[in-house]
Amino acid sequence: MLHVVLHEPRIPGNTGNAIRMCAGAGAALHLVEPLGFTLDEARLRRAGLDYHDLAHVEVHPSFEALLARLPEARVHAFTTAATTWHTAVDWRDGDALLFGPEPTGLPPEVLAHPRITAAVRIPMLPGRRSMNLSNAAAVATYAAWGALGHPGGA
C-alpha cells in the first residue's frame, strides 16, 4: 500500500479530493496537523462524495508522529525545488508520497529531515509555479501505483 501524506493541508476541497483519489487507488491518506479546516466541514465531505467510508485516513498530531507510525517507509518529498522527476523513482510498496500545504509547499525543516528519502517533482513547463495539491497527489499516486503494476486494480 502506498501512503499519501498531506502536511498541514489548508483547503478542505483538496483534502476531500485526496480522500476520493486514495479510495480509488487503495492508498492510505495521512494528514499531518495542524489542518486548516475541521474534518466535518461541508466542503471536505462534498469533495470526497461517498468515498469517506472507502478510504483509509489517519490524522497525526505532528510530522514526527507520522514518521513513528511509518517507521519502514521511504518518504519522497514533492517539491518544485527538486530536480528528480517522480517518474524516475523506483517506487516500492509502502512508500510515502509527501506533499506540502497550499500555497507554500513543504517547509525547509521538513525537506531537510533525515527521514526524507528523496526530493522529487512533477515536471511542468518553465515559468509555472506549481500544481494544485490534490491534482499533484493524484498524478504522483497513480504514477507510483502504475509502476507497481496497479495491485488490486480492476
- Residue ranges per structural domain of the chain: 3-147
Q: With respect to CATH, is domain 3-147 assigned 3.40.1280.10?
A: yes
Per-residue pLDDT tens digits of the chain, which is 154 residues long: 999 999 999 998 899 899 999 999 999 999 999 998 887 766 666 554 566 677 889 999 999 999 999 999 999 999 999 999 999 999 999 999 999 998 899 999 999 999 999 999 999 999 888 889 999 999 999 999 999 999 999 8
In the prediction, which pLDDT does 43 show? 60
What residues are paired with 75 via a beta bridge? 96, 116
Nearest Cα neighbor of 2 from 25, 33, 20 is 25
Long-range CB pairs of 147-152 (<8 Å, 24+ gap) are 147/89, 147/90, 147/91, 148/2, 148/91, 148/92, 148/93, 151/26, 151/93, 152/26
Cα–Cα–Cα angle for 59, 134, 100, rounded to 5 degrees: 60
pTM: 0.93
In the prediction, which pLDDT does 55 show? 84
Q: Name the one residue in this structure whose C-alpha cell is 491534482.
A: 135
